[in-house]
A = this chain, B = another copy of it.
C-alpha cells in the first residue's frame, strides 16, 4: 500500500506541529470552526505562508488564502482543504490537505523562482472556513459562500447551539475579512480516504471521479411535554420515541441494500427539554441517505417517506420535514482525473479511480472550475475519530503527486471552463 518515495521530513515535522493545536488526550484534535484553537492554527499558517513570500488574506466568510502572484492579473490555481475539525476528531481530516497544498505550492514557487520560470496561472493555498459543519451548519460553509451556493448573510448569521453567530466567532479569532478571495481557474485538493478501499487494495492514490449521490433531511419531531411516570401511555406524545423510530428506520432501510450499498445515519438529536423525568416535547434531528447508485437512493427515499406517517401514528407525534436537500451522482472533470493519473504513473504511484462518499470543499469547487480530487489511504478507514491514521510515506507521496498536478494545472494541461452538464447544483427535495 505504502509508496517507496522518500519521506519529506520537513512536511512530517510541520504536520506534527500543526497537530498540536487543539490536541486531545486521546491523540486527536478538537478545533471546531471559529474556536480559539482554530484561530491559533490559522495564525500559525499565516506565519508559515508569509515566511515563504505568500500574501495572506481572509475573505468575508473567513476563508484563509495564501496567494503567490506569479503572472500579474491571471486567475489562480487554488489548492487546499480545511483546518477545522470535528469534536474529538482526527489530525488528518482536512489539515493534511491544507498542509499538502502549502508544501506543494511552496515547492513549485521555489523551483520556478530559482529557474526564472513563469507558469500561465497564479497559485493560491486555501484553508476553507467550517468544512465540518459540526458547530455551525451547514458543512462546507466557506466554499459554499465562495462558489455562490450559500448566501453570505445567511452564513454569517448562523448560530451554534450556544447562540454564537459565525460573524462573532470569526471576529473573536480576528479572521473576518471583507474581500472575496482570488479568482479560481482550477482547484485541487488532497484528503485521506476515510474508507478502506485503498488499504484493502494496497493502493497509494485514489483518483476521485465522482461524489456519491445523497439526500439529507432535517426533521423535527413534535411531541408534547408530560410526566414520564404518571402520564398514561395512550396520552403520550413522545418526541424521543418518534426520533428513535426514525433512527431505527434509517438503519433498516440501509440493511435492505447491499450492492450497490446505501449508507444511512442519524448523527445528531437535539432533545427538548431532555430531562430524565419529562416526556420530550421536541427532537430536531438530521438523517442522511447516500449511495453510489441514484436508483437505490430514490428507492430508499421512497421507503423513508412512507415510514414517516407510520411513525407519526406509532409514536403519536407530528414529524416536520424542516429542510431536505440532496444531489445526484456528481462527476469531477474527466481531464482532471486524466492528468492526475498520468502524474501518478510518472511518479510510480499505484492508483485507482474512486468515488467519494463524504462531501469535501472540492464538491463545491468542481461545480465552478475544473477540479482534481486525490485520496491517500486511511488505516482501517477510521474517520471522524481520534484514532485516524495515515502513514508518513503516504502523506509524503500524496504531496509529491499534488505538486505535480498543480504544476500541470498551472501550465494549462486542462482547459479552463466546465464542459456542458458537469455542473450539477445541489437540489432541494420537496
Tell me if A's interface is mostly helix, strand, loop or mixed: loop
Task: Tell whether A199 is near chain B: CB-to-CB under 8 Å.
Answer: no
Interface membership of chain A positions 270-295, coded 1 if the CB is closer than 8 angstroms to chain B and 0 otherwise: 11011111111100001010100000
Is B228 touching A265 in the complex (CB atoms < 8 A)?
yes
Q: Is the CB of B240 within 8 A of A267?
A: yes
Q: Enumerate chain B residues within 8 angstroms of A280, measured Cβ to Cβ.
A: 267
- Contact across chains for B134 and A276 when beta carbons are under 8 A apart: yes
Q: Tell me, rounded to whole Å, the shortest Cβ–Cβ distance linking A408 to chain B.
A: 28
Q: How far is the CA of A244 from the CA of B261 in the complex (A)?
A: 23
- Within 8 Å by CB of A357, from B137, B230, B290, B386, lies B230
- A228 neighbours in B (Cβ, 8 Å): 263, 265, 267, 288, 384
Is B241 touching A248 in the complex (CB atoms < 8 A)?
Answer: yes
Name the residue on B nearest A32 (C-beta).
Answer: B275
Closest Cβ–Cβ distance, residue A410 to chain B (whole Å): 30
Q: Which residues does chain B contribute within 8 Å of A273, judged by CB atoms?
A: 86-88, 134
Chain B residues contacting A238 (CB-CB under 8 Å) are 251, 265
**How long is the Cα–Cα vector from A357 to B385 in the complex, in angstroms?**
43
A269 B265 Cβ-Cβ under 8 A: no
**How big is the A interface, by class?**
35 or more
Of the candidates B241, B251, B263, B385, which one forms a contact with A247 in the assembled complex, judged by CB atoms under 8 Å apart?
B241
Q: What's the nearest-Cβ distance from chain B to residue A253, in Å?
A: 11
Q: Which 10 pairs between the two chains have the least Cβ-Cβ distance?
A: A244-B244, A134-B275, A228-B265, A244-B247, A227-B383, A276-B286, A194-B230, A87-B273, A230-B357, A229-B358
B226 touches A384 (CB 8 A): yes
A417 within 8 A of B: no
